[in-house]
Structure 1
Amino acid sequence: MYELKDTEIIFVFTGPNGAGRRTVAQMSGSTLGIKQIVSYTTRPPRAIEVEGQDYYFITAEAFADAESKDEFIEVMEIDGYHYGIKESDVTTQLQKFGAVCLILNRYGADALKSVYGDRVVRICIYADRDTVMKREQQRGDSPEQIERYMSHYDEEMEYKDSCEHAFENIDLAHTVFDLTKTLDENYLHRNLLDLD
């Protein structure tokens, strides 16, 4: 297992599905030069998802093969689909960029925290139940998908207090500004932004 240097850090974006964690992570990461580590999954892509940007969509057989070779740091099963993060992806990107981010549920966030300890900073992006449901409807999720996602809402919200930071995502620009400022001031010290 790769041992992180003191200057290397992993930001994990978590929170309820539909709260905007992926969008916030991508916008903040782009501003701060943080590379996103993309997870692997056996589930089919949603209409709006892009291969290699949202997930690597692979077959159950390919996933099982990688798992048998201990390529994953963590593996989760959610609603019958498998998800995993490859250790080699994390190691390579950390050595290149010094800071990386991932978008994970609470179990994935805990798994990374248990492996890398204080070098993992968990950031909960959340919104109220009605806002989350409305966003899921707007992106074209089926009623069955929305029901499945919302069945995890309460447990994802309970995890908020375990995270190092939490941001309510009502106004995207405001959320990204506050988050970027927090990460730069507390962890990165890159002074990339004029925040006055």
Structure 2
Amino acid sequence: MKRKVFVVTGNTGTGKTSVTKYLNEFYEMPKVVTHTTRQPRAGEMDQVDYYFESHDTFAQNHYLEQVTYDGNQYGSSREGLERAFEKNPLITIVLDTQGAATYLEELPADEVVVIYLTVSKEHDLYQRLVKRGDDVQKIHERLSSEEYVRDTQIPENLQAQAHVVENDDWEETKNKIDAIVQASIQND
């Protein structure tokens, strides 16, 4: 079986974590562990949730994409990809749309499957964020951020290759994800 990285992208609240968890559990796709210089939160484990790095060790990896957010560095490395591929030829990662575009540019086209999640009603995104327990003030900040606005529509550089999945109904979404996975595997 050929190597494939399933890149799950889309806006805040569209279900990226749920879809990735489904791919992890149902298809046994390991997630690519990414790197950060931020401190671990309660319950987070090094090499499971992130590779928790110092600024010095962070700089030693070979990144496909990286970003500084809230004073901390985040990135996904070629080393992290290889570690995930050692476990399974099918792997998954959650990226913002810019990161997804970078993966399409940097990796062989037949190795990247982009799944762009959306919902039919923008109001649903707000309700999902409230339901998962996010701070209301933080939700409003996030919904007015440049990144949120950017990711409300699929970027032009992803349109030709991304599978757009409207995640309004979880059972329908799983069926769409299953179809994407099967088509991706059969195309080898």
| TM-score, length-scaled by structure 1 | 0.78
1:170 aligns with 2:168: yes
- What SS does the aligned partner of 2:20 have? helix
CA-based RMSD: 2.7
Cα gap change, 1:18/1:46 in structure 2, threshold over 3 Å: closer, same or farther?
Answer: farther
Deviations, residues 19-63 of structure 1 (Å, cap 9, x unaligned):
11111121133222221112233456778x8546983273xxx34
Q: Tell me, yes or no, if structure 1 residue 25 matches structure 2 residue 20.
A: yes
Contact preservation (8 Å) 1:20, 1:169: yes
Seq. identity, %: 23
2:33 corresponds to 1:38 = yes
Q: Return closer, same or farther for 1:103/1:42 CA change in 2, 3 Å cut-off.
A: same
Q: Aligned partners of 2:28, 2:6: CA distance in 1, in Å?
A: 12
> Conserved in 2, the CA contact under 8 Å of 1:12 and 1:120?
yes
Q: AA paired with 1:136?
A: L
Note if contact 1:44-1:57 (Cα within 8 Å) is conserved in structure 2. no
Q: Return 78-87 or 9-18, whichever deviates more.
A: 78-87
Match for residue 64 of structure 2 among 42, 48, 73: 73
* TM norm structure 2: 0.81
Deviates more, 1:101-110 or 1:143-152: 143-152
Unaligned runs of 5+ in 1: 1-5, 190-196
Q: Is the 8 A contact 2:116 2:164 kept in 1?
A: yes
Cα pair 1:21 1:126 within 8 Å, conserved? no
Q: Indicate yes or no: 2:147 matched with 1:147.
A: no
**2:9 paired with 1:14:** yes
Structure 2, unaligned stretches of length 5 or more? none
